[in-house]
Amino acid sequence: MRTITLRRSLAALFVAALSFGAITQAQAEALRIGYQKYGTLVLLKAKGSLEKRLAEQGIEVKWTEFPGGPQLLEGLNVGSIDFGVTGETPPVFAQAAGADLLYVASEPPAPTSEAILVPKESPVQSVADLKGKKVALNKGSNVHYLLVRALEDAGLKYSDIQPVYLPPADARAAFERGSVDAWVIWDPFLAAAEQQLQARTLRDGTDLVDNHQFYLATRSYAERHPQVISALVEEIRAVGEDSKSDPDKVTEQVAPLLGLPGDITAIAVKRQGYGARFITPEVVEAQQKIADTFTALKLIPRKLSIAEVIWTPPAGKVAQAAQ
């Protein structure tokens, strides 16, 4: 009798241990999101709706800020985050470097939210005048492609300029002290330089680039947690729709997060694209063109296939996204 009782007790303890382990694992499950200083993810983080939605599934949301897209995708590549947002070019460089990522969704084009700047009193009056000049940019960022296209449109080669690869804060410092002749940058850094430094816009992305913002995930996370990724995109889309309908409210929310005055923040907010959608064939085609451009310039070592790294949403989610 004692033996039977002991066995039953041990069995009960074993079941309890398994249950506790399952609960602990569920509690420990996390979605790690990388974001930059500006964009829809900043608004989503402030809103807190994603945390509430995923808490019901026992998933904790953890946020990590990055200074730019290349740095964020390096975090994605080494496994420190599961999901993040960047401009058009960083995913191309990341894929070329072997990162196992997937494109999940994109925002509408926002070509005016990136530009080539020169100091107010600069003698440079056109992109063609940049020949032989030092141009600061974040290597592999969205503005890298803008610079390539602008030079091409002006009849110049990339080799006709002296690229100076710097992250935004260092690039602004170099621009202010006159160590570089031009700076290619995105919002809100762009809006801040225009207003605070009276920097002159030489050329923005209009008629040159789409300047999509892309949401990406590690392949392993997206394949293991398709419903979480879908929920995340739905929350991003909802925040974007709210932003389109009330840009003044967004400005009020974002300005203190950026540490910028409201008038500067408002400029950036109004130039941004809102309304995340799953990736369409047209977006794949545009992104393939960017990849092929950098391959031709020998800035990436091999030809890429963008179609091979597009995430497929669960059945029914694509139709919902189109509504």
Give the 3-state DSSP-derived string for 25-66, with helices as H, strands as E and coil as C.
HHHHCEEEEEECCCCHHHHHHHHCHHHHHHHCCCCEEEEEEC
Q: Nearest-CA neighbor of 75 among 40, 96, 99?
A: 99
* pLDDT per residue as tens digits for the range 66-119: 988 888 999 999 999 999 999 899 999 999 999 999 999 999 999 999 999 999
Instruction: With a cut of 80, say whether residue 18 has pLDDT above it.
Output: no
What is the gyration radius of the CA atoms in the chain, in angstroms?
Answer: 23
User: What count of other Cβ atoms lies within 10 Å of the Cβ of residue 100?
Assistant: 13
Instruction: With a cut of 90, say whether residue 23 has pLDDT above it.
Output: no
Cis before 226 (ω within 30): no
The reported pTM is 0.82
Q: How far apart are CA 78 and CA 111, in angstroms?
A: 30
Is 203 in contact with 127 (CB distance < 8 Å)? yes
DSSP E strands, the chain: 30-35, 60-65, 83-86, 101-106, 114-118, 134-137, 162-165, 182-186, 200-204, 214-218, 277-278
Q: Nearest-CA neighbor of 42 among 191, 189, 254, 187?
A: 254
Instruction: With a cut of 90, say whether residue 180 has pLDDT above it.
Output: yes
What pLDDT is attached to residue 58? 93
Instruction: With a cut of 50, say whether residue 155 has pLDDT above it.
Output: yes
Contacts of 308 (CB under 8 A, 6+ apart): none
* Domains recognised in the chain with CATH numbers: 9-110+212-322 (3.40.190.10), 111-204 (3.40.190.10)
Output DSSP code: residue 164: E
What pLDDT is attached to residue 17? 39
Instruction: With a cut of 50, say whether residue 207 has pLDDT above it.
Output: yes
* pLDDT per residue as tens digits for the range 242-275: 888 888 988 998 898 888 999 999 999 999 988 9
| Amino acid letter, residue 208 | L
Q: Nearest-CA neighbor of 196 among 179, 172, 168?
A: 172
